Structure 1
């Protein structure tokens, strides 16, 4: 397996970089045909089938002003992005290097099952707007300036992204304006007991009518909402960790086979298991 630990430690020691591309499943991440990077930014603690479903649906959904000829899966690559902003504090309950190893397995499953190139990157940016600007700068410098960027989110994350309270005293438009200038979002509905499916599916219509607090109606054109799969739309990393802590093996069906094997063999969550 790729030596994630040494590359992680090297990145942590630098002060001049805010993003590093660590690993690519194929020989080349950005091909001449590539016009869009799908960014799955998560804690990956652990990766699970909900992540895989989010990627799969984003690959076939029409995004932006793409024509049918330019919206094929072959024109898109997937970036799994892990933020290590709080690396000065011990990450819990799985170490960053263990999460990167689990991301490695997920990346290969994405490539093998979905047929697209998948990369793993780390960043010390914590805000979406900073991540978007950093990625745009990196790929423009090292690859091309003709790429579009789509962040893949669950509905709950979208709500947090657009919540004014996280940006006070700045206005939401001031804080996120540059994000929507450079990027857009693909969002899957969630079944987490907070908002009904109907309410989630109507969210963009409410935004277009000016009914979402402090959010410009034009932002609805940069958000693409789709219905999540019933089998995966209530899966979360935290719920998997809770099941692991309980001692049950039912978590295995909620993550992918190679990630489940890694957890079983390497036991990155032993620290949260309930003592006998």
Structure 2
């Protein structure tokens, strides 16, 4: 099935979510059957517009799970990782509509697949999580997928993803309907610009609706989702302003639910300054420095298709 067909299926409501690429047929399970199967699968979800994917996306996607605040310090030096990773594109973003000069959804999917290959080849980074909370995967083979969805909110995406993943895991394991499949636990990866929107009442009917939705999203009795937010250095914003956002968002999250569900991480001094909009602007100006902000495979793709250039 072509990427265009996948997009049409989602946009026409024929499918809530389309899995367009997996690093192996058993995703999100390990490439090889493991015994016994996990009771829980920890899956990271990087949901972005990928217009285009940058090294900041790659660094954030490479982030490792963060241990709960109440977890004892790990005595193991072995890196712990997510069981699987997902790169997710929404064809209906709450803020960003397709504009003239943008890459099409099909082109973004092609770049996401390239990023998935880059991600599979790269080594996960960040502080290792406590082993009792995130067991080490028995396989170090790549476990990355790309999907598209027609849902603008994280709360809505979480519900769709959990249902889809539960059914997929059950089907892959061949479980009977009465059997309880392993539970998918989702960690959403985002930057500070995105987390501000997540906790902004204007994206909900009202503040009461926002609080109820986010409690369901983050609560252990609900979706039990977690959030890892990359510290970014945005153009025109000082480090102090970014730190203020981190402090304010952490406080908002604590007011909604006392259990720790939000962690901030560093993704690299260079990577934290990169943005898709800066890549597009550099290309439009003919500034070759944009190539330093993306992986070589994506740079080659952009060049070969003359994306974002002033002559497009």
- Normalised by the length of structure 1, the TM-score is 0.83
2:177 maps to none
- Displacement over 4 Å in runs of 4+: 63-71, 89-92, 193-196, 198-208
For the residue of structure 2 that corresponds to 1:221, the secondary structure is coil
Structure 1 spans left out of the alignment, 5+ residues: none
| 1:191-270 superposed matches below 5 A | 191-193=233-235, 196-197=238-239, 200-201=242-243, 212=252, 216=255, 218=257, 221-270=260-309
Name the Cα RMSD after superposition: 2.9
For the residue of structure 2 that corresponds to 1:138, the secondary structure is helix
User: Per-residue displacement from partner, 1:194-229 (whole Å, max 9, x unpaired)?
Assistant: 654456457666566x5x4x9616357100111231
For the residue of structure 1 that corresponds to 2:183, the secondary structure is coil
1:109 maps to 118
CA distance in 2, matches of 1:184, 1:159: 15
2:103 maps to 94
2:19 maps to 21
For the residue of structure 2 that corresponds to 1:229, the secondary structure is coil
Contact 1:8 1:97 in 2 (8 A): yes
Contact 2:53 2:111 in 1 (8 A): yes
For the residue of structure 1 that corresponds to 2:271, the secondary structure is coil
CA distance in 2, matches of 1:65, 1:240: 40
Q: Whose helix fraction is larger, Structure 1's or Structure 2's?
A: 1
- Normalised by the length of structure 2, the TM-score is 0.74
CA distance in 2, matches of 1:190, 1:96: 25
CA distance in 1, matches of 2:84, 2:268: 22
2:228 maps to 186
Gap change, CA 1:266 and 1:66, over 3 Å in 2: farther
Contact 2:52 2:108 in 1 (8 A): yes
Q: Give the deviation of 1:62 after TM superposition.
A: 3.0
Q: Give the deviation of 1:250 after TM superposition.
A: 1.0
Structure 2 spans left out of the alignment, 5+ residues: 30-36, 124-140, 170-180
Aligned residue pair count: 264
1:84 maps to 91
Gap change, CA 1:246 and 1:193, over 3 Å in 2: closer
User: Per-residue displacement from partner, 1:97-151 (whole Å, max 9, x unpaired)?
Assistant: 0000000100000011135311000100011100011001111122144221000
Q: Give the deviation of 1:20 after TM superposition.
A: 1.4
1:72 pairs with 2:114: no
Gap change, CA 1:207 and 1:162, over 3 Å in 2: closer
Q: Give the deviation of 1:175 after TM superposition.
A: 3.3
CA distance in 2, matches of 1:134, 1:66: 30
1:138 pairs with 2:147: no
